Structure 1
Amino acid sequence: MDSEALLRLLQLASPTLPVGAYAYSEGLEFLIQTEQITNAAGLQNWITAELMVGAIRVDAAIGIRAYQGQVKGDLTSIRYWNHWLTAARDGEALRQQSLQMGRSLWQLFCDLEPETQNFNPQEFHHFAVAFGRVAGAWQIDLEQAILGFLQSWTSNLINAGVKLIPLGQTQGQRLLLTLHQPITQACAEILNLEDDQLDSCSWGLSLGVMGHETLYSRLFRS
């Protein structure tokens, strides 16, 4: 990857990207409050399982298809997969999270690239779709873009765990290093998924997000 593409990927995957990712725990807050996750090892097991069989795999796979559609100029394909992900998203909270983050990223991209006239900042996108489109438009290598997508998602959940369990910052960074191998493995598998293989085992995530709504006090939105 050339220096410009690398810098764009670092910007796109940065935790400082103003899309609101920090506001979501994706069910972790419920799992931690109910003591189903109590330490770094439990958080590692949860994130690893999500990377291997969870909904994030489907999100990343849709991001790949959005990337390919952007490179080819195939808006029909992009819209198809965007609607497909809306139908596949399990639970209102997760759907709203995905759409809010996607809307924020797409509006930001349109503000950063005002000379591109054929982009409508009001067009609705799931976050994975917006991420894929931006990565394609910025000519970031596809595999590296998916690695960045998965690493950014993992970092966000670790940051939530650091606040909620709580964990020390060093322990959180050690956990992120430990998860490099599952991230790399998941990326390699996701890149080879066919359309009829886009499934996941995400009932634990769904139950965690639904349980989050019943908590007495909450730091996060999901």
Structure 2
Amino acid sequence: MDTITLTDSHFLHILQLASSTLPVGAYSYSEGLETLVENGAIANQGTLQQWLEAELKYGAIRLEAAVMVRAMQAATIGEMETLRYWNFWLSAARETQELRNSSWQMGRSLMQLLSTIQPQIQPFAETVGNPCNYAVAFGIAAAHWQIDIPVSLLAYLHSWVTNSITAGVKLIPLGQTAGQELLLQLQPLIIHTEVEIIALKDDEIACCSWGLSLASMQHETQYTRLFRS
């Protein structure tokens, strides 16, 4: 395994970008988990782990993460047309309105935040326009702060897993210790997924996320909801 050395500045930047306190609204979405918990498909730590493992191996998060890498590469060398292409591509790949809107809302929030605290990013925000997907905004930020691609990708995947586990802790419910245990158990798979995604060619980007899509479509009609639909 390659060893990547981060400067203190790079390390702090990626911690800030992947932090659960980043005000982009990630905490308000359940990625289909609310539906799955209600119908009993996910009922404990074991079934939540199975779901997250399947998503990391085959699900839409792989597609998002691959686009994040390409957005980062395009932003690094100033390829604005490529950046716009992948933003449009990811919007078209979203299978439900809920998933598309969540990606757009989080992307818009992140770009607004970055444009305020790092005005140098404003030209990228203007180039991509609105809507901007969250994965694209994340890639732009990581490129601006000159963070290595493997580190940025690990942070993106870890952030997604953390948000999903937090939703599961609230919904199932699980204890905080169980959530941290699950996050630790998923670390090897997160690393393996990062290696696979970096190796993907453009025409190999794909996912099998029909379970997530069905859960997302049913979310709107739930009688009560804790998370946005």
Settle same-fold status: TM greater than 0.5.
Answer: yes
Alignment check: 8 A CA contact 1:110 1:119 kept: no
Give me the identity figure in percent: 53
Matched residues in 1 for 2:85 and 2:121: separation?
A: 22
TM-score (norm: length of structure 2): 0.94
Compute the RMSD of aligned alpha carbons: 1.2
Matched residues in 1 for 2:123 and 2:114: separation?
A: 12
Give matches, 1:1-222, under 5 Å: 1-115=6-120, 118-120=123-125, 123-124=129-130, 125-222=132-229
One-letter code of the match for 1:64? Answer: V
Matched residues in 1 for 2:47 and 2:121: separation?
A: 45
Q: What are the ranges of 5 or more consecutive residues in structure 2 without an aligned counterpart?
A: 1-5
Q: Could you tell me how far 1:221 is from its partner in structure 2?
A: 1.0
Deviation per residue, 1:139-191 (Å, 9 max, x gap): 01110000000000000000000000000001100000001011111100000
TM-score (norm: length of structure 1): 0.97
Matched residues in 2 for 1:51 and 1:2: separation?
A: 28
Q: How many residues align?
A: 222
Alignment check: 8 A CA contact 2:67 2:135 kept: yes
Matched residues in 2 for 1:13 and 1:161: separation?
A: 19
Matched residues in 2 for 1:28 and 1:117: separation?
A: 34
Q: What are the ranges of 5 or more consecutive residues in structure 1 without an aligned counterpart?
A: none
